[in-house]
Structure 1
């Protein structure tokens, strides 16, 4: 085979790999969304540099847990997960500086507190409404005084 035939074969294999990867991402997203409750949710993985460290993803409510999946991976497992009773909403703000280019359009930055420390998420206003409702809709038998920091 001539060198240009090898080059065409390599280009064809790379193109096929890209198409298969894209198809895999579409199938994965459909599988994650099949039970409903999924929404666009970005998570700030690195907090060491201001306005940086955001990763695009999908959120899914699964019972008492909020699961976060990276967008550009084929893994069916969530990368992060937070329990409802360990997550507390602290406030919201508009993205600033480099965050505006890193996040989905029209998303807000949400500050939360978890058992592992501060958590920053980014979601749309409608997703924030659902998130707040999910946090407040604790199941029967929940110790509300413990959830509010032990106040009586």
Structure 2
């Protein structure tokens, strides 16, 4: 077999693998979103460097939990999970510098406090309204464990 035939075979296999990966991402997103409550949600994994550390993802409300899934993975499990009673909203700001290119357009950056430390998330203003409503929907008097 000539070298160019090997090159064509390898190119064909790579294209098939890329196509299968793309189809897998679409199917995964559909499966995760089938029960509703999903939205575009980015999470800042490292806050050491200004504007860096953002990872695009998708959020899903699951009862008392907010689950965060990375966009470009085939894993059906959430990468991060936050309990509603362990989060408190600390404020919002507009993306600055490199964050504008790293995040979805028109998203705002929010800061939340949790028992594990500060959490930075980015979402659309409409999703932020839903997030705040979800946080405030805690049953009355349910914060007695946090003292």
The normalised TM-score by structure 1 is 0.93
Q: Which portions of structure 1, spanning 4 or more consecutive aligned residues, are displaced by more than 4 angstroms?
A: none
Counterparts of residues 1-152 of structure 1 (less than 5 Å): 1-139=1-139, 142-144=140-142, 146=144
- TM-score of the pair, normalised by structure 2: 0.96
Q: Deviations over 1:106-146 (max 9, x none)?
A: 0000000011000000000000000000000013xx42553
Q: Name structure 2 gaps, 5 residues minimum.
A: none
Residues of 1 paired with 2:83 and 2:122: CA distance? Answer: 18
In structure 1, C-alpha distance between the alignment counterparts of 2:143 and 2:86, rounded to whole Å:
13
**2:131 is paired with a residue of what secondary structure?**
helix
- Inter-partner Cα distance in structure 2 for 1:95 and 1:17: 35
> 1: distance between equivalents of 2:28 and 2:55?
18
SS in 2 for 1:25: helix
Change over 3 Å in CA distance of 1:85–1:145 after alignment to 2: closer
Instruction: Please give the per-residue CA displacement for 1:54-81, whole angstroms capped at 9, x wherever unaligned.
Output: 0000000000000000000000000000
In the alignment, structure 1 segments of 5+ residues that lack a partner are: none
Number of equivalences: 147
Aligned to 1:74, the other structure's residue is in SS state coil
Q: Return the offset for 1:48.
A: 1.0
What do you get for the CA RMSD once the two structures are aligned? 1.3
